[in-house]
Amino acid sequence: MRLIAGLGNPERDYRGTRHNMGFETLNKLAFDHDIKMKTSKFRAISGDGTIHGEKVMLFKPQTYMNLSGEAVRDAINFYKLTHDDLIVVYDDIDLELGDTRVRETGSAGSHNGMKSVIYQLGAQDFIRVRAGIGPKPNEWDLSAFVTSRFRPDDIDKMVEGVAKAAAAVETILKSGVKEAMNMFNRRAKNKIDRQQADGE
């Protein structure tokens, strides 16, 4: 079984915020693959299903972002999963809104949810799908920015980003992480190269 953990804050208060791109991606996967989500015993909302022939658990910790790793750890220990069975989807301020990157390992950067996951697992060698939310404006506090809601003129790019992140997860399950990295990381690099060529 693959545990696909989307990071975010409880949707009753934080739906539509930048920090909840992980949750939004899992919501799309659940809808597209008819997976029913319900509260689980791991302080999460989760649902079991199959995507491209792989048994999966979609998993949204309800611990608030900074303690996300506790719920992920509990589920991994209960089901006796390895780090290779884990995919974490989360927002990233270092990517433009609408962009997606796939990685097999790496640090948490400034992301407190990822810091919690890495700390609780004692490792960082697991697949992650990063959904861009755009850089923080200089005048904004980081916490205020990531918990703010998308502006109306950002919604289309947000929806595009969620679709890309969901497609990246599906590609990992269907064709492997290397194929997903080739597809989605190249797209982001090509976009940067075009912007630099245009002098943006």
87: burial class by Cβ within 10 Å (0-12, 13-18, 19+)?
buried
Backbone angles phi, psi at 61, to 5 degrees: -55, 140
Backbone angles phi, psi at 41, to 5 degrees: -80, 0
> pLDDT-based confidence at 99, cuts 50/70/90?
very high
Report the alpha-carbon distance of residue 106 to residue 125 in Å, rounded: 7
User: Torsion angle, CA of 160/165/170/173, rounded to 10 degrees?
Assistant: 170
Query: pLDDT value at position 16?
Result: 94
Catalytic pick from 19, 33, 52, 83? 19
> pLDDT-based confidence at 79, cuts 50/70/90?
very high
The CATH architecture of the domain made up of 2-197 is 3-Layer(aba) Sandwich (3.40)
Backbone angles phi, psi at 148, to 5 degrees: -85, 155
Question: What does pTM read for this prediction?
Answer: 0.92
One-letter amino acid of 50: T
One-letter amino acid of 72: V
Radius of gyration of the chain (CA): 16
Q: Each residue of 9-46: pLDDT tens digit? A: 999 999 999 999 999 999 999 999 999 999 888 999 99
Query: pLDDT value at position 196?
Result: 47
Q: Minimal CA–CA distance to 32: which of 181, 162, 179? A: 162
Round the average pLDDT of the chain to a whole number and report it: 93
Query: pLDDT value at position 188?
Result: 55
Does 19 participate in catalysis according to the annotation?
A: yes
Query: pLDDT value at position 39?
Result: 84
